[in-house]
Amino acid sequence: MVTNNSTSKISRFHDTIFFILALGLFFYSSSRACLLSLTCDEASTYFSHLPNSIWSCFYSEFCWFDANNHLLNTFLMQISTSVFGVSEWTLRLPNLIGHIIYLIFSILLIRKNSKSLFLGIVGFCLLNLNPFLLEFFSLARGYGLGVGWMMMSIYFLFCWIESKEFTLGIYCYVGAFFAVLSNFIFLNYWACLTAVLIFFILEKQIYEKNENRINSLFKSFGLPIFSSLGLFFLVKKPIQFLQSKGEFAFGTEKLSDSFVELVRVSLMSQGYFNPNTTAIFVLISLVLSGTSILFAIFYFLKQRDKLFSRIHLAGVSLMVLMILAMVVQFYLIDIKYLMGRKSIMLLPFFGLSTYLLLESIYRNKGKYKNWAVGLALLISVFSFNHIYRTFDLKETTEWSYDAYTKDMIHYLDGNLKENQEIELGVFWIYGPSSEFYQQYLSIKKIKKVNRLREEDFNEIETAELIYIRKDQMDIVRNKYILEKEFGSAGVLLKKKK
């Protein structure tokens, strides 16, 4: 019999703290959604995929000339722009909704399992205050939306482990289903979730007496098996189309590179221990995650009947299985290890594993309770300091080059003569965003935006002004002079007279 030693009573004071923290984070992501310049990939989705029928994308190759079509995100973008019109905020609204979902279910997970206010706060910090993760709730990509649905799925997985109610299993798979439709990288999560569910189903059948074992097994296995088969047939063709275009060829050849990169981007260039900041935090992350895995296995074997030991094991098992899934994919089907934003789904699990470790120490090691609380306070203080230091309403990590594209277009609109019309040449990475703002702001002074590659620079004839990277100025120094710098990388040049 499983003993429920998990659920704890949280006071209204604690709830108020979580509400204020969640409100502050949502206000931050909403502000970024309104203020950040639209990025290259967001604008590409707007031009290439928003006009298409999403329903045809389940069988038509036409939708899959690149991987920018994150199905559920694109569909919700179509709805939000048709209702509220086109703007940065409306294009990013689906991921703001994803942030609400993520906040709600991360807090519910913490409330359900925390034995201490300090552990609850550190749980909130570990799950919610990673600045790299936060970025994707303010961008019109499927990553933030997918992570939100994944957190819903994790919460209901833990609830299902407690009661084995069939309805909770359905809710768990609903979250996972929407996560996959938000971005196909979450297929990894779906597969690992199914493995964890099957483990606990078998564990129950082995250790608990059941006279109707066959019926129970059929009902229990029915949900993961039939839902997985349904998803397989639904996304089979889109996956094949993308694979044929080589869209899964991006990544790294080393698993260690994937992990180190996640740590690096999460640090956001903050030099806490320069020049060894990244290495030190990689070591800290490995120690905490590894210790959490060992604790989970030990206490599950020792206290199998305790609910929290099962929840701890489920949480770290998902993390380990998702890493192993990347290894299997790399060696069997030559899919490279995920990097940067494509591995973002791992971030909540690293935070969750540390939170579950602290809870486990607090529950099982009586004399070490104060150590758990002390470490929780230390991590919380660092997390709040880190999010303060990385506060940014201008740039985003993976598309930092587009931070000033909107400013550049506004500058042209304000400084060109009233009846002047020009052709603007832009280095190709600035093209989608520049074209979006030309259309969105209805700037008639820019009659055409030409996307240029470096090999085109010396053949430019019609572009009166060009917007390129600063390190590309030498290529066109015979034809163009500096008009204005934007940020540390972008420069607007005008043709010599």
Mean pLDDT of the chain: 91
Q: Average pLDDT, stretch 43-70?
A: 90
CB of 276 closer than 8 Å to CB of 256: no
Nearest to 50 by CA among 79, 84, 85, 87: 79
Q: In the structure encoding, which two tokens stand for residue 221, read together?
A: 């296995």
Please name which of 396, 431, 67 lies closest in space to residue 250, comparing C-alpha atoms. 67
- Angle in degrees, CA 336, 348, 80, rounded to 5: 90
Convert the pLDDT of each residue in 153-196 to its tens digit: 999 999 999 988 989 999 999 999 999 999 999 999 999 999 99
- Cβ atoms < 10 Å from Cβ of 440: 18
| Model confidence pLDDT, tens digit, residues 2-25 | 555 544 445 788 889 999 999 999
Instruction: Note if the bond before 275 is cis, omega within 30 degrees.
Output: yes
Q: Which of 38-47, 83-92, 111-120, 453-462 has the lowest mean pLDDT?
A: 453-462
> Could you read off the pLDDT of 74-88 as tens digits, one per residue?
999 999 999 999 999
Render pLDDT for 296-352 as a digit per residue (tens, 0 to 9): 999 999 988 899 999 999 999 999 999 999 999 888 888 889 999 999 999 999 999
427 bridge partner residues: 452
The model carries a pTM of 0.94
Write out the two tokens for 15. 């709830």
What distance in Å separates the CA atoms of residue 94 and residue 138, rounded to the nearest whole number?
A: 9
d(CA 194, CA 199): 9
2, amino acid identity: V
The C-alpha atoms of residue 249 and residue 242 are separated, in whole angstroms, by: 10
Cα–Cα dist 455/475, whole Å = 10
Question: Confidence class of residue 213 from pLDDT cuts 50, 70 and 90?
Answer: low
Q: Using alpha carbons only, what angle is made at residue 262 by residues 259 and 268, rounded to the nearest 5 degrees?
A: 145
pLDDT > 90 in the chain, percent: 72
Residues 115, 363 contacting (CB under 8 angstroms) = yes
Specify whether the CB–CB gap between 425 and 466 falls below 8 A. yes
Which helix (H) or strand (E) covers residue 169, if one does?
helix 166-182
